[in-house]
Amino acid sequence: MVAAKAMTHREVLEALSGLLLAMFVAMVSSTVVTNALPRIVADLEGTQTGYTWVVVATLLTMTATTPLWGKLADLYDKKILVQSALVIFTIGSLIAAFAPSMEVLIGARAVQGLGVGGLTALVQVVIASMVSPRERGRYSGYIGAVFALATVSGPLIGGVIVDSPLGWRGCFFVPIPIAALALVVLQRRLHLPRITRQVSIDWLGALLIVGGVSILLVWVSLAGQQYDWVSPVSGLLVAVGVLVIAGAIYVEGCVATEPVIPLRLFRDRTTVLATIASAMIGVAMFGSTVYLSQYFQLARGMSPTEAGLMSIAMVGGLLVTSIVTGRVISATGFWKRYLVAGALLTTVGFALLGTIDDTTSLWVIGGFMALIGLGIGATMQNLVLAVQNNTAQADMGAASATVAFFRSMGGAVGVSALGALLNHQVSDKLSEGLARLGIDASGQGDGSIPDITTLPAPVRDLYQQAFGEATGHLFLVAVPFAAIALLCILAIKEVPLRTTVDRDDEPVATPVTARAEAAEVAGSVEDTGSVEDARPAHAARYVPEEAGARRAAPVGHHRSSTGEDDPR
């Protein structure tokens, strides 16, 4: 193996620029279409179920494939994987831009989700391979800033495009040139050491994980609409999904030599609690906030551009706390207090938004949204950081992807379940209101989303009232999930961030010739018959260090007399 030159701060920033562009593409793909969805559904003659599935399709494929992308990052060239995810995303965007029907659009969004899953998992993994957890908090602030920028600019850009001659189809063209720029920057600026070792991909485990998760997500998204929650169809889907997941657990724990989700990760308390907290945050955040744009347009009569402007309150809070907490955490090495404060603000914000209806002051709603933004900004990225701090570099891809996987799964479940709840409540309230007005309600409570501006004033008022009250109920339902996340975070034991890429107990390959490497192994372990038997497969790699830093200590040694990492 050949040693890679240590990356300077400037080189890290240059490589990070391409990664942040890729992250921006992943985030903006969802936000840019948010304010276009009501217009899309009306144009393609869709229903509330179709509205939900345009969002769920991306979340489903993103969730199901995130663990696989993460594991591939532990086995193959991370740079090629990021670029492949960008290409897949671009293909899905092109199909969506020319979609002639809701069915084609939903399928295209599923293809986009494959690429977004890769970008979501890989960006964090690549950054983890370049800098230590202590420094990573500093760079996580940049990720939070990009997340905020994509969140605030996406709805604004999407709203302007929808109101322009380009129409809603232009929203799917916007991310394509950004993805192309990210490809170029990554090709020129991202230089990572190559991993050279024999690999074995757990295809059976990956298939079972994807299949089991997909079945359960389909059940959640269709239950209450296509069939009852308690029905033979529900029972069959749940039973099959649980059996497939059980098979995946058996394969991952007892059969696979390179499991997609190594079960040993869950021996760590921090990983378990942070994963549960991420899933709960996903349910609360994605499941409720995704319908805010619909609330502003249908309950408050705003244009897509105006609805996009309303997101500034939430994103402003997210931008502030993501950058500030990232820098403070890097300076101190302590992170739990910011996670606790963030989860508390998120819970309070959801509880307050649970009181809104179609008459609530927009200034008040903006204040409530800002609280949620402050909480999410201090929570989401730092949960990943807490897990990475306890994870060996060889499992960094799988661990990072696992946290993202459960957060995305929580989001998909939240969007599906809360979307079904919204549809049910709006339909019931609308039918009751039309009956009071003496209007035939047949066909009005079927979940279709009309163009509000074309409705007679009394019917339009009913729609706005129904959507306003139902949206408030969604946030009330989200409160318990945010509270569970807070309890999990409180139970996490804080471990100060380490200042090295590798953990103390990780073996490090000597970046010289294979003969010298074999001699080193022979001198440090007993003869087991072969170098491969004597040395763990994941040890044969080189991890770049920051300028001036010492190499990670060999197995059985410590970096200091206290057994802790020397500060850099």
Q: What is the pLDDT of residues 377-428, one digit of tens each?
A: 888 778 888 888 877 767 777 777 778 778 877 877 777 778 778 877 887 7
| Domain boundaries, given as residue ranges, for the chain | 9-193+258-491
In terms of residues, how long is the chain? 568
List CB contacts of 27: < 8 A, sequence separation 6 or more: 146, 147, 150, 151, 154
Higher per-residue pLDDT: 563 or 370: 370
**Inter-CA distances, 469 with 299, 356, 461, 464, 476, Å:** 9, 7, 12, 9, 11
Q: How many distinct helices (H) and strands (E) make up the chain?
A: 20, 0
CATH number corresponding to 9-193+258-491: 1.20.1250.20
Q: In this model, does residue 270 exceed pLDDT 60?
A: yes
Higher per-residue pLDDT: 311 or 465: 465
Q: In this model, does residue 566 exceed pLDDT 60?
A: no
- Predicted pLDDT at 134: 65
- Predicted pLDDT at 518: 41
Q: In this model, does residue 439 exceed pLDDT 60?
A: yes
Average pLDDT of the chain is: 75
- Predicted pLDDT at 480: 92
Q: In this model, does residue 505 exceed pLDDT 70?
A: no
Q: What is the pLDDT of residues 451-486, one digit of tens each?
A: 666 777 777 888 888 888 888 888 888 899 999 999
Mean pLDDT of 309-334: 81
Share of the chain above pLDDT 70, in %: 76
Higher per-residue pLDDT: 451 or 68: 68
Q: In this model, does residue 9 exceed pLDDT 70?
A: no
- Predicted pLDDT at 199: 59
Phi, psi of 443, deg, nearest 5:
85, -5
Q: In this model, does residue 298 exceed pLDDT 50?
A: yes
SS (H, E, C) 306-357: HHHHHCHHHHHHHHHHHHHHHHHHHHHCCCHHHHHHHHHHHHHHHHHHCCCC
